[in-house]
Amino acid sequence: MFTVTRTIVITGASDGIGAALARRVHATGDRVVVVGRSPAKTAAVAGELGAPSHVVDYARLDQVRDLASALADLGSIDVLVNNAGAWFDKYETTDDGFERTQQVNFLAPVLLTSLLAPALGDAKVVWTGSMSSRWAGRLDVSRLGMDDEAARDTFGTMRAYGTSKLALAAWVAKSARGAGANAPSQVVVHPGAVATNFGTNNSGPIGRLMDSALARAILTSADAAASRLQRYVDGCPTKDWVPGGYYEIRRCVKRRQLEDAALGKALTQRTRELLSPFGLRDES
């Protein structure tokens, strides 16, 4: 029996959910491409799987462009898993002029996905989302990308993280509306609260809590979360795949903000303003 091998690119695959998903995808016989921030950890996972790898720091948009150029050499990508992400316990701007949480979780993966459009075609794009986007996210499009005293004074770790994930979910929902038949099919998935090294960027109380024995005892394992994401990589866990939908584990959650056409339009315009200088494709 002839089996078609898919090419699956996984970002944030040097540790945690991404590494667990890379192992699962590799075990099915698909070709996995490992993308991570840590050179040592990325090389270790790639070496274990005999897979190609790329190192990128999402706090540097020039590196995101270089990554897109390298991945384009694959010819075509069947599945892109935008899993890379982080939270930080203090306000800090990147060399590109954006707050780190916003750039790493939203701007960088949006730019990468846009630059990869020719290689993606009608591929599948699975974004790792977060339930925090529902209870901590506060999206003010007019202030997206702003770096001023007000932004610094109102910064909070979970608010910044939740807002970045809310912006991501709103962007994906807007991208799916009116997308052509040859456009990627995209969903955002919250795979569960996971005990990983995700919080090691955070030296504050949240980071200490996430790294505690209690957290690791009650939170979902990376492999369990990866198995949930794999359902979306391999197909849809429910009868109908909702393009642009936001899923919490298996359930597609309806959210007014994500269906708000005016918000989606404003977010698109603002994101283009911020990322066009870095090469964002105009897909209007």
pLDDT for residue 196 is more than 70: no
Lowest mean pLDDT among 38-47, 109-118, 212-221, 255-264: 212-221
Backbone dihedral region for residue 105 (phi beyond 0: left; psi -120 to 50: alpha; all else: beta): alpha
pLDDT of 212 reads 47
For residue 205, the model assigns a pLDDT of 52
**Which of 95, 20, 29, 10 shows the shortest CA–CA distance to 59?**
95
Using 50, 70 and 90 to split pLDDT, how confident is the model at 204?
low
Residue range 253-277: mean pLDDT, rounded: 93
Distance of CA 91 to the CA centre of its chain: 20
Contact 7, 74 (CB under 8 A): yes
Tally DSSP H helices, then E strands, for the chain: 14, 8
Predicted local distance difference test score (pLDDT) of residue 249: 74
Q: Which of 218, 86, 99 is nearest to 209 (CA)?
A: 218
- List % helix, strand, coil for the chain (3-state, nearest 5): 50, 15, 40
Lowest mean pLDDT among 57-71, 91-105, 171-185: 171-185
Taking residues 23-43, what's their average pLDDT? 97
Quote the DSSP letter at residue 204: S
For residue 209, is pLDDT > 50? Answer: no
For residues 132 and 135, give the distance between their C-alpha atoms in angstroms, rounded to a whole number.
Answer: 5
For residue range 140-159, what is the model confidence (pLDDT) as tens digits? 999 898 888 888 888 899 99
Element (H, E) at 35: strand 31-36
Task: For residue 232, indicate whether it is catalytic.
Answer: no
Q: Judge contact between 107 and 165, C-beta under 8 A.
A: no
Mean pLDDT across the chain = 87
CA distance 254 to 19: 30
pLDDT bin (cut points 50, 70, 90) of residue 3 is low
Q: What is the pLDDT of residue 218?
A: 42
Contacts of 27 (CB under 8 A, 6+ apart): none
Q: What pLDDT score does 42 carry? A: 98
pLDDT at residue 237 is higher than 60: no
Q: State the DSSP H helix or E strand holding residue 196, giving kind and residue range, or none if neither.
A: none
Whether the CB-CB separation of 127 and 189 falls below 8 Å is answered with yes
The larger pLDDT score, comparing residue 52 to residue 227, is at 52
* Confidence band, pLDDT 50/70/90 cuts, at residue 1: very low
Q: How confident is the model at residue 202 (pLDDT cuts 50, 70, 90)?
A: low
Q: How far apart are CA 111 and CA 10, in angstroms?
A: 15
Catalytic-role residue among 161, 232, 246, 247: 161
Confidence of residue 38 (pLDDT cuts 50, 70, 90): very high
Any idea which architecture 7-278 has in CATH?
3-Layer(aba) Sandwich (3.40)
Q: Where are the domains of the chain?
A: 7-278
User: Looking at residues 35-45, what average pLDDT do you find?
Assistant: 98
pLDDT band at 88 (very low <50, low <70, confident <90, very high): very high
Which of 40, 232, 210 shows the shortest CA–CA distance to 126?
232
